[in-house]
Structure 1
Amino acid sequence: MRFRHAIASMSKIGLAAGATAALVIGLSTSAQAATGTLGFSEVDGDKLQYIDPPDNVCVALPYPVDKVDNGTDKTALLYLGSDCEHFAMSVDAGRSVSNLSQLPVSAGIESVQFTD
């Protein structure tokens, strides 16, 4: 009888430890985001910004941008088109790049993704 009770107790402890580990791992992966603001503007000066954008998620911009201000703590990867498939350049944390509308390509910078 004691043996069964000991096995049942160990099973409960193992289940609790597994659930705790899953919770910790789940929180650490879902909480990742660039901290700060990504600002961008059109040739005519219209400006928008994203605050604390998520990591490793393609963000389609509402229009081709001429300037990007990366005020986040992560590198911003800029892509031609809206699907993050055609890499154009990276903008390090705290840096800016302008005159993007002058790039010799038919599609403009229309999407961004953050990485560590």
Structure 2
Amino acid sequence: MLALTHLVRGGLAVGTAVVLATAPATGAQAATGNFRYFNGSGQEFRVVNPPDNVCVALQVRAISMVNETNKSVRVYLGTNCATLATTLPPGRGVSYLGGPQSIRVIG
């Protein structure tokens, strides 16, 4: 019976190792590039390589913004990604009254 217990434990250890070795790697993804935005007096701010699917609070209300990343970015009026204002595809810019306060990279 003791030999059977050792055999089962050994099989579980090998099975677990195989699962861990073959599981796909899931690391944090990020857009490549800059999300640039400007306040009412024209001062520039940047979010460099913003992470995917993470709400990023902007430092100031953005009057205009440019998506220089390789992914689409959702722009929100409120903090904590509340109240969607628009979605900016890569390479696009927009001016926006109301001053968006947060973004989230999608894709």
The TM-score normalised by the length of structure 2 is 0.83
Report the alpha carbon displacement of residue 78 of structure 1 after superposing the two structures with TM: 0.5
Partner of 1:108: 99
Report the alpha carbon displacement of residue 8 of structure 1 after superposing the two structures with TM: 4.4
Counterpart Cα distance in 1 of 2:30 and 2:82: 21
Among 89, 94, 100, the alignment partner of 1:92 is 89
Q: Which has the higher helix share?
A: 1
Corresponding pairs, count? 105
CA-atom RMSD in angstroms: 2.1
Q: Which runs of 5+ in 2 are unaligned?
A: none
Q: Which has the higher strand share?
A: 1
Counterpart Cα distance in 2 of 1:9 and 1:110: 54
Counterpart Cα distance in 1 of 2:19 and 2:10: 14
Partner of 1:104: none
Counterpart Cα distance in 2 of 1:112 and 1:10: 48
Q: Percent identity?
A: 33
Counterpart Cα distance in 1 of 2:94 and 2:39: 13
* Pairing of 1:4-83 with structure 2 (within 5 A): 4=4, 7-21=8-22, 24-25=24-25, 28=26, 30-83=27-80
| Alignment-mate amino acid for residue 50 of structure 1 | V
Q: Which runs of 5+ in 1 are unaligned?
A: 102-106
